[in-house]
Amino acid sequence: KSAPARSTSSSPRKSPRFPNITNPISPAPCSAAPWFRRRPSSASAPCPMSGRTSSRRTSTIEEAEDITANVFAANGIKVYLFESLRPTPELSFTIRHLKCKGGVVCTASHNPKEYNGYKAYWDDGAQLVPPHDKNVIAEVEKISSVDEVKWSGCEHNITIIGKELDELYLEMVKGLSVYPEVCVAQHDLKIVYTPIHGSGIMLVPDALKKIGFDNVHVVEEQSKPDGNFPTVIYPNPEETE
């Protein structure tokens, strides 16, 4: 199953480095692609996953995801694209499970939606560290024109993934329980959970249920993913606001 690019009526930001690019994320996959491909056996291995793991479900983010997936595919790299919103830890798990060479999350993290961006991950499921980060930036600096970007083609390199990976991830989480018998014994422990309008709603309630807890209450007012964070002053849970 391939993933055709979605059309959008949004007005994405312009890139200061490439003013003709309608999404500033565009040079990133174009630059990361050659670095992934230079790795041993990378041409025949499953490669970057453009994870729809952002808590900002806006058309701009969806466009960024499709651009990322299509650019990687056009560069001859196999892409696993999540069908919809997913939390970042599942991306890290999936990179390792599918033996990918890397991964991508389009997200603003816990910041306001104006910080929407591109996070690159390595084959260990962690974000890029030296020297890989510097090598990717070096590829960015080599791009002098938007005309050098391969925007489309080879859509057959894109595979949609979703529920099957969710189940594998949840089983892994369940297996990490240190005292599973305690969870079963305390199954009616009252738990209140809020995703604060983020992507955790996709898997946290299911994870708690799979572990054995059956008295979980989700804060409904904050359960819907929304990059505007309408119920909080600032979305970072580390802040008192």
> Which sequence positions are flagged as catalytic?
109
CA distance 62 to 99: 25
CA torsion sign for 32, 26, 10, 73 is negative
Residue 60: both structure tokens together = 């701009």
**43, 76 Cβ separation under 8 angstroms:** yes
Residues 6 or more apart whose CB falls under 8 angstroms from that of 138 comprise none
| Residue 102 DSSP code | E
**Is 25 within 8 Å of 118 (Cβ atoms)?**
yes
Cα distance between residue 196 and residue 218, in whole Å = 10
Strand arrangement of the beta sheet that strand 117-122 belongs to:
49-51, 102-107, 117-122
User: Distance (Å, rounded) from C-alpha 224 to C-alpha 195?
Assistant: 8
Q: Which amino acid is at 19?
A: P
